Amino acid sequence: MIDPTTAEYLLRMGIQPWVPREPSAVGAADVGLADLRELEHIVSGCEKCALHKARTHTVFGVGNAAAQWMLVGEAPGAEEDRQGLPFVGRAGHLLTAMLFALGLARDDVYIANVLKCRPPENRDPMGEEVTRCEPYLHRQVELVRPKIIVALGRFAAQSLLKTNRPIGKLRGERFVYGDTGIPLIVTYHPAYLLRSPLQKKKTWQDLQLAQRIFAES
């Protein structure tokens, strides 16, 4: 390390001395090493895409850090952006009811979204936004290590499964998330069910499938 006197002489000569930086606990490049608390801190300062410009809060995830069930939605809505928590609006109340029907409370599971910032006017997520944000979700899955993942809605399903297949053709099947070996099933997003309540029966069938797969794991 250069001593202060030598550094001063170098500066007078027009030479910028090299000074080692203090190592930070976790940086943006260390997503794969972060624990949940560190990862949440990284996400809170993320500016990888334009969504950060209009957000009120990032929406990281909530629930049991050692949950056996993990539910993944697509992106925060207005109320989630305001509170910084996932699924707290009307869709969130329906999700709570869906969990209750399975004998689960919100504190039993871990809930997250593919995107951590709200798209303007709740528009659909864009491909670049998903690409830049999904390493955070992948790390969340690694840390929580659930026994089953439920993808809520088309964008969550397509992002997690790397497919363009419509949700109607993804339902009713058992998938695996990446190379984790974790079983994944697909169902409709609670927000969609509020608009199309007749699909609730199909969603209940999906959740029963998830329950059977979980019981076998």
Q: What tens digit of pLDDT does each residue of 71-83 get? A: 999 999 999 999 9
pLDDT at 92: 94
Which residue pairs from 119-122 have beta carbons closer than 8 angstroms and sit at least 24 positions apart in sequence?
119/51, 119/75, 120/54, 122/75, 122/77, 122/78
Going from the C-alpha of 74 to that of each of 17, 24, 26, 118, the distances in angstroms are 47, 31, 26, 10
CA 94, 177, 61 angle in degrees (round to 5)?
Answer: 45
CATH class of 34-216: alpha beta
- Cα–Cα distance measured from residue 143 to residue 141, given in angstroms and rounded to the nearest whole number: 5
Domain positions in the chain: 34-216
Please give the Cα distance from 139 to 58 (Å, whole number): 16
Secondary structure element (H or E) that encloses residue 184, with its range: strand 182-187
Nearest of 126, 184, 181, 192 to residue 153 by alpha carbon: 192
Q: Give pLDDT tens digits for 123-152.
A: 888 989 999 999 999 999 999 999 999 999
Give the pLDDT confidence score for residue 122 in this predicted structure. Answer: 83
Q: What is the pLDDT of residue 21?
A: 38
The residues of the chain scoring below 70 in pLDDT are: 1-29
Query: What pLDDT sits at residue 30?
Result: 83
Q: Average pLDDT, whole number, for the chain? A: 89
Who contacts 1 (Cβ-Cβ below 8 Å, separation ≥6)? 19, 20
* 122: number of Cβ within 10 Å: 13
Between the CA of residue 84 and those of 65, 79, 90, 112, what are the distances in Å? 17, 8, 15, 11
Note whether 79 and 56 are within 8 A (CB).
Answer: no
CA dihedral 100, 65, 146, 93 (to 10 degrees): 30
Whose tokens are 């997003």? That residue is 189
pLDDT at 22: 38
Alpha-carbon gap, residue 43 to 35, rounded angstroms: 12
C-alpha count within 13 angstroms, C-beta hemisphere, residue 183: 18
